[in-house]
Amino acid sequence: MEERHRKILQRNRTNLVRGLDPLNLYDCLFEKGVFTQDMIDEIKCSGTRLEQARKLVQDLETRGSRAFPLFLECLQETGQHSLAELLQSGAPAVQIQPATPTQVFCPVVQPLPVSPPMDVDKQRKDDVPVHPVQRPSTTPTPSPEREYIRPRLPSRTRLDSIQSYKMDASPCGHCLIINNVEFEPESELNNRKGSNIDCDKLEGRFKALNFIVVVRTNLKQRQIKHELSALSKKDHSQYDCCVVIMLSHGTEVSHNRFPGAVYGVDGQHVPVQHITNYLNGQHCPSLQGKPKLFFIQACGGDERDTGFEVSPDEVEPSFGGADDQTDAIPMSSSSDSLSMSDEPDARATLPTPSDILVSYSTFPGYVSWRDTQSGSWYIETLDRILEENAATDDLVTMLMMVNHEVSQNSAKGLYKQMPGSFNFLRKLLYFQS
């Protein structure tokens, strides 16, 4: 497919996925040679109408140069005129005229062609030639049929070849939110004003994504462990996913897998790698092979990032509120519990669990900013990105959007924040919407 047509599809992907009726398109796309029957069967097996529409649009980008105009023809012929007009508005040069499509489906036995190689592709559908045809070096862009039978290079992994996790169970799975707001005086940790705003947003968001949401507030270390243990002992066999969200103060600790730790209201912390262990394949067999997602809104340490200078046109200025606070431990009173001998993950000796993603509000070692009036930067942005893009984009793509937007903020006009994630998912993850 030509690059300009691919960009048109990408710009309009959201509207296409939401409005496309793939069931009415399959016969037309097959007859015009855009997809083979095997490819259509694979799209049908991808799941719901939304998931089929998403895969259809993704696969369309991998087809030949005539795939885009033929797709427009199919939209017109199946009555999906508004989508066709939407795509045409960005591609005035596309001519919606059949390029002798009937020849593709009339199997006529002919000698080796004297005509241009493109005619060879028009004359053949899925028939296996009696003997191979050597294409001249002046070959134009391959037709969809020839492109499909061409072996892909083993060194290239395409996005459209990556499978998606099954995410159609109803409900989709459990979501546990631990929201620590009021800390005991003995902990010497400040109360986290604004955290209830984060909690309410995420509770509503994951309910909208069809999760069973349970909120637990102001838990001590042993209570956090108890809730995680109870979650791991549930039977998740009828569900497709599990989510854990931690809203608390945090710190940096020695680790060999996932960095950071989250505090209970008693001032005792639970390492993130222990939190993830509760749901790994060994401790929770019914979640084996299923995505386990962890969202950590907590500081990774007490270091404040002042950023570095960039060209003015590389960044859009954005500033946090006057009431920005951090979720770091107090530097003056609790520094004893901060490990300064943290080893890099590259030296880990334990195997990394699969199907786990841990999303951190900030880079390990740095503070995470929270506005007492509107909630934390990370959760506010995560909630909005999920609301706007969950219908069309996979989780990893959305987290990259979150990373970009949060990186634009500034606390007190000076300090920055950079979210990130440790991603051990094996497939794409699309939420229900």
- Residues annotated as part of the active site: 249, 299
Instruction: Output b/e per residue, 408-421; b: 16+ Cβ within 10 A.
Output: ebbbeeebbbebbb
Which of 186, 300, 318, 214 is closest to 249 using CA atoms?
Answer: 300
What is the spatial distance between Cα 170 and Cα 431, in angstroms, rounded to a whole number?
Answer: 12
Q: Are 224 and 249 in contact (CB under 8 A)?
A: no
The DSSP bridge pattern shows strands 173-179 and 241-247 to be parallel
Side chain identity at residue 220, one-letter code: K
Q: Are 290 and 236 in contact (CB under 8 A)?
A: yes
Q: What is the dihedral of CA 219, 220, 222, 223, to 10 degrees?
A: -20
Structure tokens at 405: 């937007």
Angle 233-253-213 from CA coordinates, rounded to 5°: 35
**Is residue 58 helix, strand or coil?**
helix
What is the spatial distance between Cα 368 and Cα 407, in angstroms, rounded to a whole number?
Answer: 12
* Distinct helix (H) and strand (E) counts, the chain: 14, 12
In whole angstroms, how large is the CA radius of gyration of the chain? 26
Structure tokens at 354: 């699969």
Phi/psi of residue 137, nearest 5 degrees: -70, -15
Give the DSSP H or E segment for 169: none
Q: Are 78 and 34 in contact (CB under 8 A)?
A: no
3-class secondary structure per residue, 205-243: HHHHCCEEEEEEECCCHHHHHHHHHHHHCCCCCCCCEEE
E strands along 252-333, which residues?
A: 261-263, 269-271, 292-297, 324-326
What is the spatial distance between Cα 254 and Cα 120, in angstroms, rounded to a whole number?
Answer: 64
84-90 contacts at long range (C-beta below 8 A, 24 or more positions apart)? 86/12, 86/15, 86/16, 87/8, 87/9, 87/12, 87/16, 90/8, 90/11, 90/12
